[in-house]
Copies of this chain bind each other. A is one copy, B any other.
């Protein structure tokens, strides 16, 4: 295997698609949102990206079949704007690996004619959220007004530590290629898988990209999480300890 290998699974014709990326991260916001798009719309797996910088690992599916760790691109038909969704379960294991893998992702996007990129993620607040704001970062200040019209907030020097990993590099390296890239970060406590934060991000995306999404099943997930949150608050009121990771991640 080469350091990075792109496998062509399907070769649909897309019309000026935008790239939407959602990989694992804070509150699983980006990955939840990306997977929701794949599930809600007609979607087709078009590329797998393998890399020796990914963990040396296979996942086992429901049948018992092993799948080598990879990132996947899906073409989705939204009825409106064509969208290419990038998702997966892993990031690279080294600084240079992150750069190389993101370049490969941008090459795939480029081969489909992508000129606009949306990286989705969460930004941790450290406390349970009442109202879900979406924070933005862009490669070009001209992109800001449209996003602000949709309620996206741009706060000076936030997030303080910058944006790390593939989401950050899609902006950093995308900008060097002349792409317009936006990072949409849903506020989330950081303690829980957060479908409400994913919904807040998707509602922005829906308008700026141009498609219509039904949130019924995401609401179901959110309701389940609400119950968890309710139990946590109850426990906190009783002075009990936080629930274990397993209790919190059952929706993962």
Contacts and interface: CB of A to CB of B under 8 A. Distances in A.
B97 A95 contact: yes
A251 interface: no
B52 A171 contact: no
A155 to B, nearest CB: 7
A60 B169 CA distance: 12
Nearest to A66: B171
Nearest to A166: B56
Interface stretch (A19-27, A172-180, A190-198, A199-207): A172-180
A173 B68 contact: yes
A53 interface: yes
Interface string A133-165: 000111111001000000000111111011111
A63 B156 CA distance: 6
A93 B93 contact: no
A55 interface: yes
B141 A63 contact: yes
A3 interface: yes
Nearest to A177: B1
Contacts of A100: 52
A68 B139 CA distance: 10
Contact of A1 (B92, B94, B144, B176): B176
B137 A168 contact: no
A58 B95 CA distance: 13
A138 B157 CA distance: 38
Contact of A99 (B52, B65, B154): B52
Given A64-B138, A96-B52, A155-B64, A58 B171 contact: yes
A190 to B, nearest CB: 18
Contact of A169 (B56, B59, B161, B166): B56
A183 B68 CA distance: 13
Nearest to A100: B52
A57 interface: yes
Given A1-B103, A69-B172, A95 B55 contact: yes
Given A53-B95, A64-B154, A64-B155, A58 B169 contact: yes
Interface of A: 1, 3, 50, 52-69, 92-100, 102-103, 136-141, 144, 154-159, 161-166, 168-169, 171-173, 175-176, 181, 183
Q: What 5 A-B pairs have minimum CB-CB distances, sorted nearest first?
A: A68-B172, A56-B98, A64-B154, A52-B99, A66-B171
